[in-house]
Structure 1
Amino acid sequence: MDRIYIEYDNAKITFGDGILLNVEMYDGRTFDNLEARRLFPITGIDKYITLLDEEGNEKAVIRDVNYLMDESRVCVKKALEEYYLVPKILYIIECYEKFGLMKMKVETDRGIYSFDIKSRYNDIKILYDGRVLLRDASDNRYEIEKFDKLDKRSKKLFNSYM
């Protein structure tokens, strides 16, 4: 079976149950209750989104969410936002090392979190676009959207353990 690509206006995407999506192709084919997943979740946030059925089979791929019709784009972005819920770090309140763990207390867009990072080399990724991705000991993820936009104190705390 050939891969189906969704681009521009060749499909209409709407919400199904919860964060699941329904797709109606321009040729009349329909796919219901599809899960949207990023093929490149770190570097390609809005590009190459796979749509999977309930058995995990790929039904279609969206090449670039930003080129979809407005209604479809909103639905896909909302579904991805809900699935990939990653709190955005606004301030670093505490950052210190204890028993080989990097301990952090941060304020995020979702509230205050305290967590431990096992390995600063494996669990902290500094990306070319200024983002910093962190994974805690419980495998939860956090993001600093623009490291250079953090306040001076937060940067100093973070850099002292990097």
Structure 2
Amino acid sequence: MNNQNLNLSRNAFGRLRLVTDDGTAHDEVVPVRAFPISNPGEGISLVSPEGRELAWIERLDALSAASRALIEEELGAREFMPEIRSIRKVSTYATPSNWSVETDRGDFSFILKGEEDIRRVAGGTLLIADSHGVQFLIRDQYSLDRTSRRILDRFL
């Protein structure tokens, strides 16, 4: 399928609809990033509700503005991963502990159940899962302020 001319729209229920080159309409299409952290603008699959891949998008920026906007809007609604910019304080250095952090989406407090809920992804990138399963991203632990790095080091 020619990604530049991807035939995407919203159906009557506001769900993503893809019409493939052969004219088949697929409702409730879901975009899924292959590399959501390391390369979010590349490698996006459009899948059916059953999980079957319908189209592959090499690069989001190669799409028309309208198609790109629909996919980014859909991804934004599905993906909630605040990026931690600063760790303000933790209640204790033992787990479980309450964390107060500043993120790109505002201030949050959450409970870290155990050190195993902090995962290294690549290089200095970390994912922290709170007690409710919400994933927090630290894109580069080495670029955090000194206080945040010191707190984080106690858990790694």
Instruction: Name the TM tier (shorter chain).
Output: 0.7 to 0.9
Q: Does 1:123 align with 2:117?
A: yes
Q: What are the within-5 Å matches in structure 2 for residues 131-150 of structure 1?
A: 131-150=125-144
Counting matched residue pairs gives 154
SS in structure 2 opposite 1:9?
Answer: helix
Residues 7/103 of structure 1: CA separation in 2 closer, same or farther (3 Å cut): farther
> Does structure 2 conserve the Cα–Cα contact (< 8 Å) formed by 1:21 and 1:36?
no
Structure-1 separation of matches of 2:81 and 2:2 = 27
Structure 2 counterpart SS, 1:127: strand
Task: Check the 8 A contact 1:39/1:49 in 2, yes or no.
Answer: yes
1:7/1:62 contact within 8 Å kept: no
What letter matches 2:134 in structure 1? N
CA deviation map 1:37-75 (0-9, x unaligned): 234445453333332334444433333323322221222
Q: TM-score, normalized by length of structure 2?
A: 0.77
Question: Which of 133, 149, 152 is 1:155 aligned to?
Answer: 149
The Cα of 1:101 is off from its aligned counterpart by 2.1
Match of 2:70 among 68, 75, 81: 75
Q: Which moved more, 1:62-71 or 1:140-149?
A: 62-71
Q: Which moved more, 1:68-77 or 1:42-51?
A: 42-51
User: Is the 8 Å Cα contact of residues 51 and 58 (structure 1) preserved in structure 2?
Assistant: yes
**Structure 2 unpaired stretches of 5+:** none
Tell me the amino acid that sits aligned with residue 99 of structure 2.
M
The aligned runs of 1:34-53 (5 Å cut-off) are 34-53=29-48
Aligned-CA RMSD value? 2.6
Q: Are 1:111 and 2:83 matched, yes or no?
A: no
Shift in alpha-carbon separation, 1:161–1:55, aligned structure 2, 3 A: closer
Q: Which of the residues 48, 54, 58 maps onto 1:59?
A: 54
Contact 2:93 2:154 survives alignment (8 Å) = no
Per mean C-alpha deviation after superposition, the further-off stretch among 107-116 and 83-92 is: 107-116
1:12 aligns with 2:7: yes
User: Displacement of 1:93 after TM fit?
Assistant: 0.8
Partner of 1:3: none
Structure 1 vs Structure 2: percent identity of aligned residues?
27
